[in-house]
Structure 1
Amino acid sequence: MPLHAITEVYGEAGLRERFLLEVNAFPPDEQAQLADALELAGKLHAEDRRVREPYMNHLLRVAIRIIKYYGIRDVDVLTAALLHDAVEDHPAELGLLATGTHQELTESAIGELARRFNPKVAELVRSVTNPEYDPDRDRHEQYREHVEASLDRDPWARVIKVSDFTDNGVGVIHTTAEKAYSSATKYRPLVPKLRELVGRPDTPLSLAAKDHILDQLDLAEERFAAILDD
C-alpha cells in the first residue's frame, strides 16, 4: 500500500507499525538506535503539524521510503532521516539551550546529535538543515542554493533529501490548495538539479532505486505543472 494511503487509512499508528516491520530484521543494536531516534523525534515534534496531519507522519514516510523503495539499510542514514528536521525546527530543545544566536543554537543541536548518536548522523542532519535566510533575498532561491551546495558535497544526504522531496512533491496532492500552490512554487525549480544529483555515479543508490526516484520526480513535476500551469 502506498505510504500516503497508509497515512489516510491508518494514520500515524499505521506508519509506526510499518516502520517497525521494515526494521524488524535489523540487528538489536541498530533497532535500539532507531527506537531512540523515533522517540526523540516524537518528543521534539509532538505538537507539530503539517496542515492536516501530525508532523511525525512525514518523518516516518521519509524513513520508510528509504528502506522500502531505495533499499538502504544504513542505520545512521535512517536515524538522520527520522531527525532530518529536528535541528531546523527545534534547535533550542534539542541542544538544551534557552537562548542564543541562530548559529549557536544550530551548533549546539548538531553537537547533541553527535553525542547521542554519532558524528555521521549529526553531519547528515546538518546537510539537510536550512541555514538562516537573508531577509533581503528571496527565500525560495536561497533554499535551492543551499540544497544544491549541500547535496553536491554530501552524497548520502541526497538519499534523505530525495525522499523528503518525494514526500513533499509527489505528496503535494494530499494537502490544501493553498499549501499545494506554495509547495509547487518552492520545489518545482529544484527538480532538474535533483535529477542530475540522483544520476551521479557517487550517489549511493542502486540503478533500480535511481530509476524509481527519477519516475517519482517526473510525477512530482507533472503535479507541479497541473497546479501552477492550469
Structure 2
Amino acid sequence: MEFPAYLATMPMHAITEIHGEPGLLARFRLEIRAFDAAARERLTAALDLAAELHRDDRRVREPYLNHLLRVAIRMMHHYQVRDVDVIVAGLLHDAVEDHPVELAALRRPQAPAAAHRPGAVGDDPTAAALATLADRFGPRVARLVGAVTNPPYDPERDRHVQYREHVAASLDREPWARVIKISDFTDNGVGVIHTVGPKVARSAAKYRPLVPVFRDLIARPDTPLSAPVKRHIFAQLDLAEERFSAILDQPN
C-alpha cells in the first residue's frame, strides 16, 4: 500500500481515519528508524507479540492494535522517548490485563522444582504473564507493564475510585510508567471524541477526575521528560478537560 510522503508528520487520528492499521504500522516503522538494529529487533518483536495477543480485540470501530501503536508512536514522536524498554512496555501495556492466560502459556517451560514450588507463578496467571514478559524482554519491561496493569477490584467499592487510587499509587513510584500511562490516557481521554455510542459519556466520567492526578505526576521533577514535552502534555490535558466538560456538563 502506498502512503503519502508526509505520513511521518500526520496527526495520528488522521492516519487512523484515512489509512487505518496499515498506516499506523507504516508510521511505527518510520519512527523506529531512529533506533539501532538491536533496538528495532526488540521493538518489532514486541509489536508482533502485541498483534498476536490482541488479534481478535476491537475498540468500538477499530482493531485494538491501533490503540497500542498510537501509544508507542506518541511516546517516540511527541515525547521524544528513546528508552526501548519503555516503548516495548507501551506496546504491551494491556497484554497482562487483557490476556494473562494466553501470555502465560507462551512462557518457556520451568524446571520441575520451580514449577511446583508453593506460590510459583503458575498459580497466578497475572504473575505468570509478567514472568513471560520478563523472560522475553527483561524484568524492567515486566515491572513497567505491571505498574500500569489494573489489579482486581473490590466489587463493593466504586470502580472508578479504585482505578484512580491505583493510578496514583502505582505511578508514584514508577516515573517511566507515568510516561506510558499519560500516552495511554491521551489516546483514551483526548481521543474520546473519536469514540461513538454510550462509551463516550462513560469514558469522560471515568477519565475527567484523573486530569489533576496526571498534572501532578507529570509536573514532578523525577518525571523523565523535557520541559517542552511536559508543556505539550499539559496542553493535551487542557484539551481533554475541555472535551470532558463538553460531554458531561451539557444543560438538561
Tell whether the structures are fold-level matches, with TM greater than 0.5. Answer: yes
Contact 2:160–2:206 (CA<8 Å) still a contact in 1?
yes
Root-mean-square deviation (CA), in Å? Answer: 1.5
Query: Does the CA contact (< 8 Å) of 2:122 and 2:128 recur in 1?
Result: no
Contact map agreement 2:89 2:144 (CA 8 A) in 1: yes
1:68-127 Cα distance to aligned partner (Å, 9 max, x none): 000101100000000000000000000118xxx998110000000000110010000000
After the TM superposition, which residues 157-168 of structure 1 pair with which residues of structure 2 at under 5 Å, given as runs?
Answer: 157-168=177-188
Q: How does 1:140-155 map to 2 (within 5 A)?
A: 140-155=160-175
Where do residues 174-193 of structure 1 align in structure 2 (5 Å cutoff)? 174-193=194-213
Show the counterpart of 1:19: 28
Gaps (5+ residues) in structure 1?
A: none
Misfit runs of 4+, over 6 Å: none
TM-aligned CA deviation for residue 2 of structure 1: 1.0
Larger Rg: 2
The structural deviation recorded for 1:203 is: 0.1
Residue number in structure 1 paired with 2:227: 207
State the alpha-carbon separation in 2 of the partners of residues 192 and 130 from structure 1.
19
Aligned mates of 2:232, 2:102 — CA distance in 1: 36
How far 1:165 sits from its partner (Å)?
0.2
Unaligned runs of 5+ in 2: 1-9, 107-120
Aligned positions of 1:217-228 closer than 5 A: 217-228=237-248
| In 2: Cα distance, 1:83 partner to 1:106 partner | 14
Is 1:51 paired with 2:60? yes
Aligned-residue sequence identity (percent) comes to 66
Matched to 2:249, the amino acid is: D
Determine the structure 1 residue equivalent to 2:3: none
Alpha-carbon distance in structure 2 between the residues aligned to 1:214 and 1:160: 15
1:73-84 alignment runs, 5 A limit = 73-84=82-93
**Correspondence for 1:117:** 137
Matching residue's letter, 2:149? T
* Separation in 2, partners of 1:91, 1:171: 26
- Normalised by the length of structure 1, the TM-score is 0.97
